[in-house]
């Protein structure tokens, strides 16, 4: 575990949530060498198998933004990187950075960070009170239809916006950036060559979406200022017919098991 007390204040922090990405698909593509950008940065080139704190986007992000990141899929207790200060916490360790706030963005803002959210899926669209709840935790938030689930170029569009944000950020100001990537979420059929809308989304189109993400996400990492502490993970998985299930917000293994990685860009 990184000592986050040595990280916070001296590093920018980037949290990338690859919305809906399944662990099994991510692990298979990594092992096959089909996601070279991500596996080139992950420790030992592999995703860590973890369990999500929520089975759909809003629940998972609300927990993660309170310091409850996906938990290692092995017996614990597992110390956390970030934790709101409260009595009796069994996962707050000497290397945990604690904050006197209800959520991580507010805690980091108090530590001098500029907090930015670039959303993807509907819970970040700011079109409704619910769609504004998560973005409202940040000093600056961005969403437009070109960042959402229906645009095949959503990730490149989001990275364009991030480039603008970073370009105007004072050099001495630390940054906490949340990027919620919508590409893996349905619909994703358009990422698989030859697929049509009538074919629908499948495990194969999900994998094609991850290859698309890997092809573009290197630009994001290139934009980030150094040093930068990076967390890349899924918020939850999704089912494509397993045991008769489709989608998420259900208690199935393919939903609760997610890929996780952390590393430092230096």
Nearest C-alpha neighbor of 66 from the set 13, 102, 90: 102
Number of domains within the chain: 1
**CATH number of the domain where residue 201 is located:** 3.40.720.10
Q: Is the pLDDT of residue 89 over 90?
A: no
Query: Helix H segments across the chain?
Result: 4-7, 23-31, 36-39, 57-64, 104-110, 129-133, 154-167, 203-223, 253-256
Would you state the pLDDT for residue 1? 79
Q: Is the pLDDT of residue 87 over 90?
A: no
The residue with greater pLDDT, 91 or 232, is 232
Query: Is the distance from CB of 236 to CB of 248 less than 8 angstroms?
Result: yes
Q: What is the pTM of this model?
A: 0.96
Which domain, by its residues, includes 37? 4-265
pLDDT in tens, 188-199: 999 999 999 999
Residue 59 CA to residue 246 CA, distance in Å, equals 19
Question: Which is more confidently placed, 16 or 85?
Answer: 16
Roughly how many angstroms between the first and final C-alpha of the chain, as a whole number?
17
Omega before 184 within 30 of 0, i.e. cis? no
């Amino acid at each position: 575990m990184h000592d986050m007390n040595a990280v916070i204040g001296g590093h920018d922090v980037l949290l990338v949530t690859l919305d809906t990405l399944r662990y099994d698909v991510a692990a298979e593509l990594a092992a096959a060498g089909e996601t070279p950008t991500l596996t080139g940065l992950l420790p030992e080139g592999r995703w860590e198998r973890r369990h999500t704190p929520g089975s759909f986007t809003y629940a998972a992000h609300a927990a993660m933004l309170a310091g409850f990141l996906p938990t290692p899929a092995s017996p614990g207790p597992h110390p956390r990187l970030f934790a709101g200060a409260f009595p009796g916490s069994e996962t707050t360790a000497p290397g945990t950075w604690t904050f006197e706030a209800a959520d991580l963005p507010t805690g980091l803002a108090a530590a001098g960070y500029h907090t930015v959210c670039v959303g993807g899926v509907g819970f970040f669209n700011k079109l409704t009170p619910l769609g504004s709840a998560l973005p409202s935790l940040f000093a600056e938030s961005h969403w437009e239809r070109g960042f959402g689930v229906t645009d095949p170029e959503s990730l490149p569009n989001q990275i364009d916006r991030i480039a603008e944000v970073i370009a105007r950020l004072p050099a001495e100001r630390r940054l906490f950036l949340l990027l919620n990537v919508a590409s893996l979420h349905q619909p994703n059929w358009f990422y698989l060559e030859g697929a049509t809308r009538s074919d629908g989304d499948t495990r194969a189109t999900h994998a094609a979406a991850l290859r698309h993400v890997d092809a573009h996400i290197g630009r994001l990492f290139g934009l980030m200022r150094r040093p930068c502490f990076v967390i890349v993970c899924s918020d939850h998985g999704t089912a494509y017919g397993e045991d008769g299930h489709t989608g998420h917000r259900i208690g199935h293994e393919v939903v609760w098991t997610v890929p996780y990685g952390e590393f430092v860009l230096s």
